[in-house]
Amino acid sequence: MSFPWAEHYTPKHPLMKWMDEKLPLPRFVYNAVGGGYEVPRNLNYFWNFGVLAGLALTVQLVTGIILAMHYAANGAVAFDSVEHIMRDVNSGWLLRYAHANGASFFFIVVYIHIFRGLFFGSYKAPREMVWLLGIVIFLLMMATAFMGYVLPWGQMSFWGAQVITGLFAAIPVVGEPIQTWLLGGFAPGNAALNRFFSLHYLLPFVIAGVIILHIWALHIPGSSNPTGVEVKGPQDTVPFHPYYTAKDGFGVGVFFLIFALAVFFAPNAMGHPDNYIPANPMSTPAHIVPEWYFWPFYAILRAFTMDLTIPFTGIVLVPAKLLGVLAMFASILLLFFLPWIDTSPVRSGTYRPLFKKFFILLIVDVLILGYCGGAPAEEPWVMISQLAAAYYFAHFLIILPIIASFERPDPLPGSITEAVLAKSKHKTGETVAIAAE
Amino acid sequence: MATEVQGTEAVAHEDEGVRRRDFINIAAVSFAGVGGLAVLYPLITQMNPSADVLAQATTEVDLSAITEGQSIKAVFRSQPLFVRHLTAKEIAEADAVDPATLRDPQTLEQRVVDGKKQWLITMGVCTHLGCVPLGAGEGENKGEFGGYFCPCHGSHYDTAARIRKGPAPKNLVVPEYTFTSDTAILVG
Ligand code: HEM
Ligand code: FES
């Protein structure tokens, strides 16, 4: 938000003045991510991940557009064209590894970003729209990454396409025509590969568009902060530039350092070796798994092994397959309702002793789901997924509403500044003590 | 003065009921709407299987080389097809099951051609999410019921390729086929 005390954009150079009259783009940027955007002074490093997500998208756009110059979306040559990128194209191996690992890093960053929001209550009023648009971005990312993974046309690509489009076949009556329509055939083939490439190229730009809406919606109330207490006056904020450009710049450096470690020293660690086997419609890999970032949802999908029947009659209400698909979609879609599910007026988890414990349990639960999703569909993994999936839904649908009404929150600081000063007083006290020793 | 005149004019128009302009508006927007829908149709249907994909070839399978207890994988509509020569024991196992207890109740008889009970011909496409189940190849895992086992999410099929355990909702699909001779079938 442009708080009344925010710096005004005043172009000095005649060229910039001229520009400001014709197309005030520099003014727009200044007010969005420059000195004109006032931000709470107490943001911690978890607030870096939004900028990092934007950076990861940029990496995908740049490497992706270059890969598309060398890639051929045809079932007969797609696999070979990716090998051609790896072996023959100058620096092709680097671009492909950057793109493949970039997808993984994009998800790591976005998952941290989402859990940041979950802990600090960023989804609560007045930032519901920011959260809703975030979930839209997340869904688009998943669709993009899924279709991207099909492009190298290896075994996992092919069978991933078969299994994921098969999800739609679970819809009663119209399911199978929908699957055939999505694939343009009865099994994944050239038609599917081509349309996936077209959409894989398109969707990242749609994501970029939704990101602009996401930030627009954010800048209306302004950024939240770790205390969850709203900005009360000029002493609570600092301008985005140079304060947070510097802090984000540091985060960007750390991000690229870790990213480079993966790209140069473990480029296939997050991939699956079977995707280096060309697609074979006649043989399914012994153990098909999606990319790691889909594992928690895949575990929920597989957790449903029994039909929902009317007891003692054997009449099937909902077959197991449809249950699994519904549960998987519901696990994401329920996040759309989160701003209205969590009715606690206290935003930040820091001041919610009970919520804090359940939040940690939720993280553990999602990690367990993730582990089960990557494991073979055997016991004990199926049973563990069932329990973990049940807990996942219980967290959002039962635990959150209940603790919101029971919990006694810790006292909130009077303002952001008060919280910051209390902390630094504490710290200075310590330094004094050390100096005295 | 001028506003007064306008006011009386507006009232006069309302009194006439439906205005000419309302009619033109509705007609134009409806026409554009119908046009929009007509344009939508090709945009959507282009995604459906094209003529060359639909020009589905039929597949002929020679059964003479398949010994009892053996099965092979053939290709039909670019999807795997399982052709299995059941043993007497496998037939007995399939017949011993009360179909009423099954998720997709069918007897072995309903899934084979009369008098050719030993030939079980099904698609090799798991009815869960479409993986190729194991069990048709030499030494592959046949699952807990001795038929097929889908490793993707753990569906077990019995010796009549009926779903017995796991997430798949239906038995493996039996395609349309005819015996062209005692030892050959034509699928499709
Ligand atoms: C949201 C951003 C994006 C994500 C999450 C993403 C994800 C992926 C993934 C997971 C793969 C498979 C990597 C592999 O194992 O080889 C892939 C491949 C590919 N992507 Fe993207 N991508 C994104 C943006 C783009 C863009 C903007 C383009 C531009 C056209 C593009 C072009 C390609 C191409 C040509 C391939 C095939 C080559 C290969 O397999 O490395 N991607 N993408
Ligand atoms: S595809 Fe066979 S069990 Fe899921």
Top-confidence residue, A412 or A427: A412
Instruction: Find where tokens 């072995």 sit.
Output: B108
Return phi, psi of residue A174, to 5°. -85, -5
Write the Ramachandran bin of B115: left for phi over 0, alpha for psi from -120 to 50, otherwise beta. left
**Ligand nearest, relative to CA of residue B167:** 2
How far does the centroid of ligand 1 lie from the alpha carbon of residue A64, in Å? 5
Classify A244 as helix, strand or coil. Answer: helix
For residue B125, give the nearest of B115, B134, B116, B113 by alpha carbon. B134
| Domain-located, residue B104 | yes
Residues B7-47: pLDDT tens digits? 455 554 555 677 889 899 999 999 999 999 999 999 999 99
In chain A, residues with a C-beta closer than 8 Å to the C-beta of B154 are 302, 305, 377-378, 382
Query: In sequence order, what are the residues at sequence separation of 6 or more whose Cβ sits closer than 8 angstroms to the Cβ of residue B73?
Result: A282, B80, B81, B82, B83, B124, B132, B136, B137
Half-sphere exposure of B94 (CA within 13 A, CB side): 27
Same domain? For B77 and B102 the reply is: yes
Question: What is the C-alpha to C-alpha distance for residues A206 and A274, in angstroms, rounded to an integer?
Answer: 31
Buried b (16+ CB within 10 A) or exposed e, A59-98: bbbebbebbeebbbbebeebbebbbebbeebeebeebbbb
Q: What's the CATH fold of domain A37-288?
A: Cytochrome Bc1 Complex; Chain C (1.20.810)
Same domain? For B8 and B70 the reply is: no
Question: What is the C-alpha to C-alpha distance for residues B17 and A350, in angstroms, rounded to an integer?
Answer: 64
Residues A148-199: pLDDT tens digits? 999 999 999 999 998 888 888 888 888 888 998 999 988 899 999 999 999 9
- Inform me whether the C-beta atom of residue B100 falls under 8 Å from chain A C-beta atoms: yes
Which residues form the domain of B24?
Answer: 2-45
Residue B2: per-residue pLDDT: 46
Same domain? For B117 and B143 the reply is: yes
- From A55's Cα to the closest Cα of chain B, the distance in A is 34
Q: Is B125 exposed, middle or buried (0-12, 13-18, 19+ CB in 10 A)?
A: buried
For residue A152, give the nearest of A290, A66, A277, A295 by alpha carbon. A277
- Inform me whether the C-beta atom of residue B77 falls under 8 Å from chain A C-beta atoms: yes
Residue A429: per-residue pLDDT: 52
Classify B50 as helix, strand or coil. Answer: coil
Tokens in use for B172? 């493996």
A96: pLDDT strictly greater than 80: yes
Strands B71-76 and B59-62: unpaired
Residue B13: per-residue pLDDT: 53
Residues A242-275: pLDDT tens digits? 999 999 999 999 999 999 999 999 999 999 999 9
Cis, peptide link before residue A296, omega less than 30° from 0? no
Residues A374-402: pLDDT tens digits? 988 777 898 999 999 999 999 999 999 99
Q: What is the band of B136 on the pLDDT scale with cuts at 50, 70, 90?
A: confident
CA distances from A177 to A145, A168, A172, B43, B135 (A): 24, 9, 10, 16, 28
Half-sphere exposure of B59 (CA within 13 A, CB side): 19
- Ligand 1 nearest-atom number relative to CA A203: 1
Average of pLDDT values for A362-366?
97
- Is the C-beta atom of A200 inside 6 A of ligand 1? yes
Average of pLDDT values for A307-321?
73
Contact criterion met (CB below 8 Å) for B119 and B83: yes
For residue B69, give the nearest of B143, B126, B156, B138 by alpha carbon. B138
For residue B131, give the nearest of A273, A301, A187 by alpha carbon. A187
Q: Give ranges for CATH 1.20.810.10 in chain A.
A: 37-288
Q: Is A418 a catalytic residue?
A: no
Top-confidence residue, B17 or A232: A232
Half-sphere exposure of A15 (CA within 13 A, CB side): 0
Q: Counting one residue from A and one from B, how many pairs have CB atoms under 8 Å apart?
A: 100
Average of pLDDT values for A202-221?
96
Same domain? For B78 and B114 the reply is: yes
Average of pLDDT values for A325-344?
94
Ligand 2, pocket-test mutation among B103, B128, B145, most atoms within 8 A of CB: B128
Contact criterion met (CB below 8 Å) for A70 and A81: yes
A310: pLDDT strictly greater than 90: no
Residues A2-27: pLDDT tens digits? 799 999 999 999 999 999 999 999 99
| Domain-located, residue B62 | yes
- Is the C-beta atom of A145 inside 6 A of ligand 1? yes
Average of pLDDT values for B167-184?
89
Distance from chain centroid for Cα A391 = 21
Average of pLDDT values for A196-213?
97
| Domain-located, residue B50 | no
- From A278's Cα to the closest Cα of chain B, the distance in A is 16
Same domain? For B83 and B150 the reply is: yes
Instruction: Find where tokens 């952001």 sit.
Output: A416
Same domain? For B117 and B157 the reply is: yes
Residue A166: per-residue pLDDT: 85
Q: What percent of chain B has pLDDT over 90?
A: 31
Same domain? For B122 and B170 the reply is: yes
Question: What is the C-alpha to C-alpha distance for residues A427 and B9, in angstroms, rounded to an integer?
Answer: 78
Q: What is the band of A436 on the pLDDT scale with cuts at 50, 70, 90?
A: very low
- Ligand 1 nearest-atom number relative to CA A140: 1
Same domain? For B38 and B123 the reply is: no
| Domain-located, residue B126 | yes
Q: Would you call A287 and B130 a contact, using CB atoms and an 8 Å cutoff?
A: no
Residue A10: per-residue pLDDT: 93
Q: What is the band of B3 on the pLDDT scale with cuts at 50, 70, 90?
A: very low
Q: Which residues of B are catalytic?
A: 153
What value does the mean pLDDT of chain A take? 92
Q: How many helices (H) and strands (E) does chain B have?
A: 5, 9
Strands B155-158 and A237-239: unpaired
Same domain? For B23 and B83 the reply is: no
Tokens in use for A240? 């985005």
Tokens in use for A146? 């899924």
The catalytic residue among A38, A236, A291, A365 is A291
B1: pLDDT strictly greater than 60: no
Q: What is the band of B100 on the pLDDT scale with cuts at 50, 70, 90?
A: confident
- Residue B128's CATH number: 2.102.10.10
Q: Domains in chain B: how many in total?
A: 2
Residue A254: per-residue pLDDT: 97
Interface mutation vs chain A, best among B46, B48, B153, B155, most A CBs within 10 Å: B153
β-sheet bridge partners, residue A39: A238
Lowest-pLDDT range, A201-210, A333-342, A363-372, B133-142? B133-142
Average of pLDDT values for A92-102?
97
Q: What is the band of B129 on the pLDDT scale with cuts at 50, 70, 90?
A: confident
Residue A434: per-residue pLDDT: 46
Top-confidence residue, A361 or B49: A361
Same domain? For B18 and B86 the reply is: no
Contact criterion met (CB below 8 Å) for A358 and A403: yes
Q: Which helix (H) or strand (E) holds A260?
A: helix A245-265
Same domain? For B119 and B158 the reply is: yes
Q: Among residues 122-151 of chain B, which lie with CB inside 8 Å of chain A? A: 125, 127-134, 150-151
Same domain? For B19 and B60 the reply is: no
The dihedral built from the CA positions of residue A392, A395, A398 and A400, taken in this order, carries a sign that is negative
Q: Give me the residue from A166, A184, A186 closest to B79, CB to CB.
A: A186
Top-confidence residue, A122 or B140: A122
